[in-house]
Amino acid sequence: MGIKGIYKELGPGKRISLSKLAADSLESANRPYRIAIDFAIWHFQTQAAQGGTNPALRTLFYRLVRLLGTPIQPIFVFDGSNKPMFKRNKRSGRGDGATTAAAKHLIRLFGFPTHDAPGEGEAECALLQRHGIVDAVLSEDVDTIMFGCTKTLRNWSSEGKTSTAPTHVSLYDVGDMALGDLGLDREGMVLVALMSGGDYLPDGVPGCGVKVACEAAKAGFGKSVCRLKVSDKDGIQAWRNSLRHELQTNEKGYFRTKHKALTIPEDFPNIEVLRYYTHPIVSSESSIEAIRQTMEQKHVFHLTALREFTRENFDWDYRIGAVKFVRVLGQAMLVRDLANSQIAAQHVKRISGRRTHFSTDGTPELRLAFIPEEVVPIDLAKEVDETVNPGRTGLALNSDDEFDTPEGVPTINAPKLFDISKPDLAWVLEGLVKNSASDVFQEWQLKEQAKAVRRSPTKTKKKAGITKALKGSDMPRGSLDKYVTATKAALASNQGSSKALEPSSSLHKSLARPKATPSISKQSSSSPTRSPKTAATIEIPQEATRRDLYFIKSPSAGIPFSSCISFPVRFSL
């Protein structure tokens, strides 16, 4: 769909987290980020889902859960009866009526508004964005730009390699991308669709590719063709001749080369197709204001009806199905309640952490503890237990790998059953928690500040320990005097006999007063087994400072030096 090859000219767009867009909107506008979704694109995508019961509806269900927990405020726009009946040489109706009705019903159960466009859904979405009813349009092609949309989101998908959950979108902002300088504004895109082929006219000009069409748009042929009137036959012919001349001669240098083989047909441009782009059938001004009021209203989330919907359409039956329902919706319902009601603050039991994650482009999140059965208050008394035999796989196929093994079924490495009455954890945008659960947020801040104060002394713990050892110990002053005596260095005449007592040369270099270098001698003892003249030795490392803690080894007669007792001593050099 759309214009083939146009993304090579437009570029990939700005990859951005949908959560970041939501957080920025909460901070700047104090409301959720609003988007219009062209449901025709989602309908096409969900039909490709396989496996389980009603795979298309199940895929839509999980997308809606993801939107509910972002938080995003969407409006789903459906094609109307006046939509052009041809697209890409195929008749285009409104799709399967039963499927569309089921999708609308599911969307409304989530409390999201729907809107039936008079004609093309994409054109209606662009209209809502131009009038400021929504912030952007979520679509999968850039036809929205041709209808005047200035902010288009596409490719809602995962960004990391370890997760398949959709978190990011590609943002095409007409203002930031300076598409006007490239000739790819609204009028330029219309010309590109006419020349290279679009949804309404897939063939375009025979032999004309998207690059040549973009060059013609940059030359201004898009603006001029969109200003032509249907009744102005002479003006249309003059425009056609001008385009032919420039393609053949490249007189003004608009193109990289001449295109003599490119022939512009006599019926180009197709005025009917041109009018579909320039004057699409959209809502009136009065209808637009009604839609604006709809977006301002708070819509009811139909919890009980949604539980029955999952029971009937996904086989989430019995108590095990109810537990799964609570588990899937828990975090999303918590976010929805925080975004819509201050009462939801009572569901936040505590804040246990903070992070900046790639899934939100570094937007701060808080880890909240909540009780799932309080956030999703369904009546479990109505849910009966069932003894599930090992061969039953219907629920597993619908669970997106979140199947909870029922009790009594022996399995290898069976997952732990989810208890909806015990606290669960969820990462929620910090700005949302700060606004909606301010008391809990402030309490958490005070606790974090107290933790920081308690942690601060640990940074100097090692240094403080060394200082304490240097300043004093439990040993009374003078306790070593009966074992050793500090004396001055031997005189020069006795240097030969006192070499063992001299400090190393490296230590001498670091001393300010080398001549006063002290040594340690052992006092005489009355013990007959000890030599009265045996000297104690100071072990001084090479990196010693002037006030380090040294160890003294005092050898005894007949005892190896390595086995001698070491005494700690504080010694000032």
173: nearest Cα among 198, 190, 154: 154
Which residues, including other chains, have CB under 8 Å from residue 117's CB and lie 6 or more apart?
A: 77, 78, 79, 80, 83, 123, 124, 282, 283
Q: What is the dihedral of CA 27, 29, 30, 34, to 10 degrees?
A: -110
Across residues 14-25, what is the average pLDDT?
A: 96
The predicted pLDDT at position 463 comes to: 55
Across residues 270-285, what is the average pLDDT?
A: 91
Across residues 374-378, what is the average pLDDT?
A: 95
Between 558 and 182, where is the model more confident? 182
Are 77 and 100 within 8 A, CB to CB? no
Between 193 and 528, where is the model more confident? 193
Between 135 and 176, where is the model more confident? 135
The predicted pLDDT at position 541 comes to: 55
The predicted pLDDT at position 164 comes to: 87
135: nearest Cα among 265, 37, 272, 260: 37
Are 328 and 64 within 8 A, CB to CB? no
Choice among 6-10, 242-246, 479-483 with the minimum mean pLDDT: 479-483
The predicted pLDDT at position 177 comes to: 84
The predicted pLDDT at position 361 comes to: 96
Alpha-carbon distance of 246 to 248, in angstroms, equals: 5
Residues 233-260 pLDDT 10s: 999 999 999 999 999 999 999 999 999 9
Residues 165-189 pLDDT 10s: 999 999 999 888 877 778 888 999 9
Alpha-carbon distance of 172 to 179, in angstroms, equals: 10
Residues 280-315 pLDDT 10s: 999 999 999 999 999 998 889 999 999 999 999 999
Across residues 321-333, what is the average pLDDT?
A: 97
pLDDT of 116 over the 80 cut: yes
Across residues 119-134, what is the average pLDDT?
A: 96
Q: Where are the domains of the chain?
A: 6-174+284-301, 178-278, 316-384+420-451
Which residues, including other chains, have CB under 8 Å from residue 272's CB and lie 6 or more apart?
A: none
Choice among 7-11, 51-55, 222-226, 550-554 with the minimum mean pLDDT: 550-554
The predicted pLDDT at position 496 comes to: 46
The predicted pLDDT at position 417 comes to: 80
Residues 51-94 pLDDT 10s: 888 999 999 999 999 999 999 999 999 999 888 776 644 444 45
Choice among 111-125, 192-206, 411-425 with the minimum mean pLDDT: 411-425
Which residues, including other chains, have CB under 8 Å from residue 311's CB and lie 6 or more apart?
A: 317, 321
The predicted pLDDT at position 404 comes to: 38
The predicted pLDDT at position 406 comes to: 38
Q: Record the pTM.
A: 0.74
Mean pLDDT highest for which of 167-181, 426-440, 537-551?
A: 426-440
User: For residue 306, how many other CB atoms are within 10 A of its CB?
Assistant: 21
Q: Which CATH class is domain 6-174+284-301?
A: alpha beta
Tell me the percentage of the chain whose pLDDT exceeds 90. Answer: 54
pLDDT of 371 over the 50 cut: yes
281: nearest Cα among 76, 79, 82, 81: 82
The predicted pLDDT at position 201 comes to: 78
Q: Which residues partner with 14 through β-bridges? A: 171
| 195: confidence class by pLDDT, cuts 50, 70, 90 | very high
Tell me the percentage of the chain whose pLDDT exceeds 70. Answer: 72
Burial group, residue 120, by CB count within 10 angstroms (0-12, 13-18, 19+):
buried
The predicted pLDDT at position 516 comes to: 46
Q: How many CA atoms lie within 13 A of 404 on its CB side?
A: 19
Between 23 and 174, where is the model more confident? 23
